Every structure is written in structure tokens, then in C-alpha cells.
A = this chain, B = another copy of it.
Amino acid sequence: MPDPDDNSTRTRLLDAAAEMFYAEGVSVGVDALCRTAGVSKRSMYQLFGSKDELLAASLERSVPGYLAALLPTPETPADPVEQMLHVFRQLEGVVADPQFRGCPYVGVATEVKAPEHPVRVVARRFHDQLTEFFRDAALRAGATDPGLLSQQLTIVHDGTTARAVVQGGPTPGLALATASALLFAGGVIHDDART
């Protein structure tokens, strides 16, 4: 039996949970999760207490990686408009992946109906982090209303991921064009700078 304090047991469970919850939905059973992770149910309950806590922990662990795939890197130009548009260029790549099954945070927030469930808290925190990034950049870019623009751009993120799922395919150019239109309407870019 694996040692429940063993980091690799924990990691194997988090890996299995991340993959299976995303690919199959939150109704995946504990038996299947433990079988895939190669971990006993007893170890799972010792480490996480419940399936819900395992789900929340695996979702939380994924946030930095998901955000890193979208947010500017040191190579991205420092210009705040470029930094905001970077997110939507990246997003089009994310949704074009054949394994893409929707934004994991919106998906789980929709599937888990209790608003105070730990995974709902993780989803809200992800959302707030993304909006906060947009707000800071919009402020630096001189937006008329940075708070409004940041919420609008978050809507474009969520709506683009929804579209890719519903239509079952990528959204070439659409996220970028929509974000550009909102940056234009928000007083940040001029018409001739629209991509």
C-alpha cells in the first residue's frame, strides 16, 4: 500500500483527477479515479478527505498553468494593448486543441450546482485573476472605464471557450477581433489599429 504521506501518491491522484474530471466530467467515480491513479481508496480519503476536495485541489493546481498559457510572457511587448491582445491570440490556440473541452473553471462551476462548493471558489478566483490582469492593463492603456473593459474581456474569454465547445471546433480570429472591437469601443485603440 502506498504511503499516504508520499508526495507521488498525492501527485498521481491529482494528475488522474485533473485528466478525468476534464475529459469525463465531475461525475467520475472514486473507484475509477483511484484505479487510474494506482492508489487505494483509503489513501485517497486519507490525503483529500473527499472526492470534492480532490476535485478542488486538482482544479486549483491547474490555475497557474492555464493562466500562464494565456498571459503575457517576458517576451511579450510591454505595451498594455499588446499584452491584452496576447491573451486572445493565445486563447485561439488553446481552443483549437482537439482535446479542448471548454474552460475547465466555467465548466466545473456549471456542473457543480452548490455555490459554496470548494470548486466554485476556485473557479471564481480564476475568473477574478483574469479580470484583474485585464483591469491593470486597461488602466495602463488609458481605457475610459478599465473596470468595465476588464469584465467585457473576461466575457470574451468565456464566450470564446463556450463557442469552441458548442461548435466543436476552433474560432479562428474571432476572439482577437472581438477583443479588438472592445478595446476600440473602450477608447484604448483607434480604428486603424484594429487587427
Residues of A within 8 A of B (CB): 23-27, 101-103, 105-107, 109-111, 113, 115, 120, 123-124, 127, 148, 151-152, 154-163, 165-168, 174, 177-178, 180-182, 184-186, 194
Contacts and interface: CB of A to CB of B under 8 A. Distances in A.
Contacts of A123: 166
A106 B166 contact: yes
B178 A155 contact: yes
Contacts of A103: 162
A163 B152 contact: no
Contact of A127 (B110, B167, B182): B167
22 contacts: A25-B26, A25-B113, A101-B110, A102-B110, A106-B110, A106-B165, A107-B110, A109-B166, A110-B110, A111-B111, A120-B168, A148-B174, A152-B174, A152-B178, A154-B159, A155-B159, A155-B160, A155-B174, A157-B159, A180-B185, A182-B182, A182-B185
A168 B101 contact: no
Nearest to A161: B162
Contact of A165 (B110, B161, B186): B110
Contacts of A154: 159, 163
Chain A residues touching B, majority SS: helix
A109 B178 contact: no
Contact of A178 (B25, B177, B182): B182
Given A109-B165, A127-B167, 16 more contacts: A24-B113, A25-B26, A25-B27, A25-B113, A27-B27, A101-B113, A103-B162, A106-B110, A110-B162, A123-B166, A127-B166, A148-B174, A154-B159, A154-B163, A157-B159, A182-B185
Q: Which of A156, A166, A167: most chain B CB closer than 10 A?
A: A166
B155 A163 contact: yes
Nearest to A145: B177
A8 to B, nearest CB: 29
